[in-house]
A and B are shown apart, each in its own frame.
Chain A
Amino acid sequence: MDLTTFLQQLINGASLGSMYALIAIGYTMVYGVLRLINFAHGDIMMVGAFFTFMATAAGLPFTLAVLLGILGSVIVGVLTDKIAYKPLREAPKISLLITAIGISFFLENLFNVIFGGVPKAFSAPDYLTKIFHLGDVYLPITVIIIPIVTVAILSGVLWVLYRTKYGMAIRALAFDIPTVKLMGIDADRIITLVFALGSALAAVGGIFYAVSYPSIDPLMGVIVGLKAFAAAVLGGIGSVTGAVIGGFILGFTEIFVVALFPELGGYKDAFAFFFLILVLLFRPTGIMGEDLERSRF
């Protein structure tokens, strides 16, 4: 591989990785409070992209459409929590998981019934599709914007989690909801806030995803959701910083497997998981994760 191609691949990796990272943050945040693998996260992301798509199709300016997309996701996310998760706060975690899968099926099929399964072309404004040329290396503007947004969101989320009382409450919730209530805190409201935030992040991820890969369909969230989940686990699920690291690692792995061994391109996804398993063998709780089920004797 010559230098140009290598640099290009590096950029490609960063681009894909930051996308995974962005989506993994929302994933891991919801996991952080509810200990729930929110399988519907990818679908909430899809909802965000679709709402934005509809708004632009209706002729609204892009910025407004994005806001509507985020709003749509937030509403769906919060409703999901209210309807499908809240009644099960004290039930076994696995029941929650099933309702999460149920919500996921529901959203996918609902959007399929409404919009059909044919991919829709997502149109983004020109300033988001610009491409810079650095010699022979091509640098799409999203490769610059998305990591910046990711890092900004990461710092924002970290600030909330570690510097505000709400963040403390969020971290405490993960371990002990009843006792959080005993502090005079409206735990359900905080969880709703987390869902709103997580869904907003999903929507932002979904919109950027749609800008980068302008084809959206009701099942677009499935594979990305799974990858983001893998990224979150790789980084140590529940750790926001870990999610970002995991996202980038996954992005680079995927790109370089294909780049270095084009014949093995078919194994790309296998490599991502293989790598994940390898890491977990040595660090059973991911890169930044703590053992949440650690039991003292």
Chain B
Amino acid sequence: MLELKDLTVHYGVIAAVRGIDMKIEPNTIVTLIGSNGAGKTSTLNAIVNSVKKKGTVIFDGKDISKEPTHQIVQDGLALVPEGRRVFINLSVDENLRMGAFNNDENFERLRAEMYRLFPRLDGKKQQLAGTLSGGEQQMLAIARALMSEPKMLMLDEPSLGLAPKIVGEVFEIITELKKSITILLIEQNAFAALKIADYGYVLENGSIALEGESENLLGNDEVRKKYLGG
């Protein structure tokens, strides 16, 4: 579904991502773990061309390395950015409408489906997104990304700052989504992420240190020591 070849990201003289290769099969959940500043967010941003990068990105058989961000999204690759980034001055409904900007004909149907998937949002359709609680904003961010009916969804730390109960709900939804689309997930909570993922990559200092089936990674001593804790 998605293939990265020799992806590199520089911020000025700082190298955040140093030539990584990845391959993600359709209808799987792949997780990318690593400590703070390892380059996870930079990788996702580079894939959608939100930051300057070098290297090749192939999505669904098409080279999207040079495409502008909005084109990539139109091609069917959606990103739920770090820190939710809902449009705080738009209502919940309007946020969803923005998600379906290029998907006018299916808007009504999808909106109904999102409210079914996230019943917590159902009662808050007209509320400004900025006044939602953190968890609700996170749900909205995911729903908004799904409104474009992407072939693949990338999530950047969806559990950041969320109460444990909501983290649980979000993970359940991600598992549910796997049935229909491909998912790339970044999580600090490596244990939970590996548990629902099929495959995992471990990023260290901008390079891939380790990769493999998630069960294998969960059993790996080094991963345990570095990312899962005692």
A174 to B90 alpha-carbon distance, docked (Å) = 11
Residue numbers in A under 8 Å from B87 (CB-CB)? 168, 171-172, 175-176, 179
- State whether the Cβ of A117 lies closer than 8 Å to any Cβ in chain B: no
Contacts of A171 in B (CB 8 A): 87, 89-90
Asked if A186 is at the interface (CB within 8 A of a chain B CB), the reply is yes
Alpha-carbon distance between A172 and B99 when the two chains are bound, in angstroms? 12
Name the B residues within 8 Å of A174 (CB-CB).
89
Contact with B along A173-198 (1 / 0, CB 8 A): 01110111111111100000000000
Q: What are 30 residue pairs bridging A and B, where the CB atoms are less than 8 Å apart in the complex?
A: A165-B97, A165-B101, A168-B87, A168-B94, A168-B97, A172-B89, A172-B90, A174-B89, A176-B85, A178-B50, A179-B87, A181-B69, A181-B73, A182-B50, A182-B69, A182-B73, A182-B79, A182-B145, A183-B70, A183-B73, A183-B98, A183-B99, A183-B101, A184-B71, A184-B73, A184-B101, A184-B102, A184-B148, A185-B98, A187-B70
Q: Cα distance A177–B100 when bound, in Å?
A: 17
> Across the interface, which residues of A come within 8 angstroms of B148, CB to CB?
183-184
Complex CA gap A185/B48 in Å reads 13
The chain B residue sitting closest to A173, CB to CB, is B87
Contact with A along B62-106 (1 / 0, CB 8 A): 000000111101100011010001011110001001110110100
Given contacts A168-B94, A169-B98, A178-B50, contact A186 B70 (CB under 8 A): yes
| B144 in the interface (beta carbon within 8 A) | yes
Q: Is the CB of B89 within 8 A of A181?
A: no
Q: How far is the CA of A178 from the CA of B48 in the complex (A)?
A: 11
CA distance A179 to B98 in the complex (A): 10
Distance of A168 Cα from B86 Cα, bound (Å): 13
Number of interface residues of B (CB under 8 A): 26
A171 to B144 Cα, complex, angstroms? 16
**Complex: A172 Cα to B144 Cα, angstroms:** 14
Residues of chain B within 8 A (CB-CB) of A181 are 50, 68-70, 73
Instruction: Give the distance to chain B from A284, nearest Cβ to Cβ, in Å.
Output: 18
**Closest chain A residue to B72 by CB distance?**
A184
Query: Whole-angstrom distance from the CB of A251 to the nearest CB of chain B?
Result: 29
Please give, as numbers and ranges, the residues of chain B lying within 8 Å of A187 by CB-CB distance.
70
Q: Are B50 and A172 in contact (CB under 8 A)?
A: no
Bound form: Cα–Cα A186–B49 in Å: 13
Shortest Cβ distance from residue B229 to the other chain A in the assembled complex, whole angstroms: 30
Chain B residues lying within 8 Å of A176, measured Cβ to Cβ, are 85, 87
Q: List 9 tightest A-B contacts by C-beta distance, closest first.
A: A184-B73, A181-B69, A172-B87, A179-B85, A184-B74, A186-B70, A184-B102, A183-B98, A184-B70
CA distance in complex: A165, B70 (Å): 16
Contact A168 B98, CB 8 Å, known A175-B88, A181-B50, A183-B148? yes
Name the distance in Å between B228's Cβ and chain A's nearest Cβ.
31
The smallest beta-carbon distance between B99 and chain A, in angstroms, is 6
What residues on A are CB-neighbors of B104 within 8 Å? Answer: 165
